Amino acid sequence: MYLYIIIIVLFMSKKDLKNVAIQLRKKGRSYSEILKKVPVSKSTLSLWLRSVNLSKKQEQTLILKKLRSAWRGGEIRKRDRIERTKKIVNQAKEEIDIITDKELLLLGTMLYWAEGSKEKSYNPSVGVIFSNSDSRMIKLYLKWLKKSLNISIDNLIFGIYVHKVYKSRIKSIRQFWSKETNLPVSLFQVYFKKNKLEGNRKNKGLKYNGLLRITVRKSSSLNRKISGWIDGVCKQCGIV
CATH number for 18: 1.10.10
- Sign (positive or negative) of CA dihedral 159, 176, 186, 154: negative
130 and 200 co-located in one domain: yes
CB neighbour class for 55 (10 Å; exposed up to 12, middle 13-18, buried from 19):
exposed
Would you tell me the crossing angle of helices 220-236 and 101-115 to the nearest 10 degrees? 110
- Residue 21 in any domain: the answer is yes
Give the range of the structural domain holding residue 10, as residue numbers without chain letter: 2-53
17 and 117 co-located in one domain: no
Regarding pTM above 0.85, the answer is: no
Q: How confident is the model at residue 5 (pLDDT cuts 50, 70, 90)?
A: very low
Q: Which amino acid is located at 149 in the chain? A: L
Task: Please give the tally of structural domains in the chain.
Answer: 2
The 10s digit of each residue's pLDDT in 73-101 is 888 899 999 999 999 999 999 999 999 99
Is 111 in contact with 189 (CB distance < 8 Å)?
Answer: no
